[in-house]
């Protein structure tokens, strides 16, 4: 096999491949035998018809196409190995000239990984703003714990206040028409933690039991249902029950019920330990991010648009899956945000992700950082614990998803590179 290489723009190489006539005939004959297995030819058992008979039934072009399809994996493998190409996509045939008895000529194109030129990535000194634990974080954690264990009692002798829980009926109208799914009976709403339309819960305050009243609101401009976005609406309401929260007393008896604590001070110490760990985690994440952003900003790489487009397609599928899990459709997202806005955002994210991946792989290559079997096993163990599935079952399930093992391996490599960068650069928290 003879090859001629021509480098083109966008990290594409054109490869002219010439296969000796003898090999080309062998490919052709093998393809004819394979096709004969699936063709019913009168007077012959499947697979037993001679080549000239098979040609009459399926045509030379079909046999040639089958021959090239069968030979390409081996041909491309040899081309890639011989030239030490680092391809990032499936090679494709641009054209071919196939005459049985003559040399087979194929023109193919391969997309190569862009070359990355790193700047300084070791010995950096970077300042990062330290995360500050809010002064009221401890008290808010305690208040949240008390609220989780609060009880409720019915109130009948007063109007609603902003900390109440109300059980009420409502029916919504916009432009004189009833809002689809905009009504409910005996709906429970915590007025202090409402996710309703802005201004809705506030108008339920200072209302008595049993009386009917109206609430006027305006749907947000970015509301997911386009025909309601930015539109005024009226809701007819009636409060059926008012409940108030009764907080437990913060004492030793309470903390002994909610956890492995003996005293209130034990609880406070445990919460503070969590807050300190949270600060350390945030500081570490921000430090790693600052170091990596500095490195990627100084790295030079000419990324072809096709790589960004493929990554954007993958991000789009992830986005659609996320929408589905949240109960929204792709059409609703397009209506709310606009197709161009979504796609431009995805392409920007894709460009960042592609460059980050290329820089990580380049550092790994320069520092001979690899993923061992133990590293891969640790990632599988993490997944097993996360989903409470034993390792063999996890492996069996993952094997049904193409590319998942490569993704796990890449994730393990990313973590090892980030660890290397953390150990070889200095970050000062300010």
279-288 residue pLDDT tens: 999 999 999 9
Q: Of 216, 173, 175, which Cα lies nearest the Cα of 197?
A: 216
Q: Does residue 43 have a pLDDT over 70? A: no
Band of pLDDT at residue 383, cut at 50, 70 and 90: confident
297-345 residue pLDDT tens: 999 999 999 999 999 999 999 999 999 998 888 988 888 888 999 999 9
Residue predicted with more confidence, 56 or 299: 299
Q: CATH 3.10.50.40 occupies which residues in the chain? A: 151-246
Strands (E), 156-231: 165-174, 177-190, 212-218
Q: How far apart (Å, rounded) are the C-alpha atoms in residues 64 and 72?
A: 12
What are the CA-CA distances from residue 127 to residues 256, 281, 427 (Å)?
43, 17, 6
Q: Of 102, 92, 103, which Cα lies nearest the Cα of 15?
A: 92
pTM: 0.75
Q: Does residue 57 have a pLDDT over 80? A: no
**Percent helix, strand, coil in the chain (nearest 5)?**
50, 20, 30
From the options 3.30.360.10, 3.30.9.100, 3.10.50.40, 3.90.180.10, give the CATH code of 151-246: 3.10.50.40
What are the CA-CA distances from residue 251 to residues 138, 148, 265, 266 (Å)?
16, 15, 10, 11
Q: How far apart (Å, rounded) are the C-alpha atoms in residues 281 and 274?
A: 10
Q: Does residue 405 have a pLDDT over 70? A: yes
What are the CA-CA distances from residue 295 to residues 76, 116, 356, 424, 426 (Å)?
35, 12, 10, 12, 13
- What CATH number belongs to 2-113? 3.30.70.1050
Q: CATH 1.10.3120.10 occupies which residues in the chain? A: 264-429
Radius of gyration in angstroms for the set of CA atoms belonging to the chain, rounded to a whole number: 33
Q: CATH 3.30.70.1050 occupies which residues in the chain? A: 2-113
23-46 burial, b for 16+ CB within 10 Å, e for fewer? ebbebbeebbeebbeeeebeeeee
Percent of the chain surpassing pLDDT 90: 73
At the fourth CATH level, the homologous superfamily of domain 264-429 is: Trigger factor, C-terminal domain (1.10.3120.10)
Question: Which distant-in-sequence residues (6+ apart) come within 8 Å of 397 by Cβ?
Answer: 389
């Amino acid at each position: 096999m003879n090859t001629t290489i021509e480098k083109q723009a966008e990290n594409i190489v054109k490869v002219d491949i010439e296969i000796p006539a003898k090999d080309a005939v062998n490919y052709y004959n093998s393809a004819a035998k394979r096709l004969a297995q699936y063709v019913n030819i009168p007077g012959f058992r499947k697979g037993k018809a001679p080549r000239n008979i098979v040609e009459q039934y399926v045509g030379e072009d079909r046999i040639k196409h089958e021959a090239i399809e069968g030979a390409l994996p081996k041909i491309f493998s040899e081309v890639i190995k011989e030239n030490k190409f680092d391809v990032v996509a499936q090679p494709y045939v641009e054209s071919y000239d196939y005459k049985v008895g003559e040399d087979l000529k194929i023109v193919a194109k391969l997309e190569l990984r862009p070359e990355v030129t790193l700047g300084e990535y070791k010995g950096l000194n970077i300042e990062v703003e330290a995360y500050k634990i809010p002064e009221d974080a401890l008290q808010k954690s305690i208040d949240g714990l008390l609220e989780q264990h609060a009880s409720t009692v019915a109130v009948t002798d007063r109007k609603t206040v902003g900390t109440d829980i109300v059980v009420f009926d409502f029916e919504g109208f916009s432009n004189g028409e009833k809002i689809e799914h905009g009504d409910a009976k005996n709906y429970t709403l915590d007025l202090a933690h409402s996710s309703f339309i802005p201004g809705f819960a506030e108008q339920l305050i200072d209302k008595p039991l049993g009386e009917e009243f109206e609430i006027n609101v305006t749907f947000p401009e970015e509301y997911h249902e386009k025909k309601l976005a930015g539109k005024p609406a009226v809701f007819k309401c009636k409060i059926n029950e008012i409940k108030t929260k009764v907080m437990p007393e913060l004492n030793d008896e309470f903390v002994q019920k909610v956890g492995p604590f003996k005293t209130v001070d034990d609880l406070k110490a445990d919460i503070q330990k969590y807050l300190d760990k949270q600060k350390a985690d945030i500081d570490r994440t921000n430090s790693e991010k600052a170091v990596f952003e500095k490195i990627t900003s100084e790295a030079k790489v000419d990324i072809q648009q096709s790589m960004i487009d493929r990554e954007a397609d993958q991000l789009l599928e992830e986005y659609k899956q996320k929408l589905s899990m949240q109960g929204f459709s792709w059409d609703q997202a397009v209506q709310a945000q606009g197709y161009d806005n979504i796609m431009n955002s995805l392409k920007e994210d894709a460009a960042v992700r592609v460059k980050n991946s290329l820089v990580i792989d380049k550092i790994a290559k320069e520092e001979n950082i690899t993923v061992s079997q133990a590293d891969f096993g640790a990632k599988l163990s993490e997944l097993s614990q996360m989903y409470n599935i034993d390792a063999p079952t996890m492996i069996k399930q993952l094997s049904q998803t193409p590319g998942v093992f490569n993704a796990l391996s890449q994730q393990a490599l990313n973590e090892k590179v980030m660890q290397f960068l953390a150990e070889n650069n200095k970050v000062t928290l300010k």
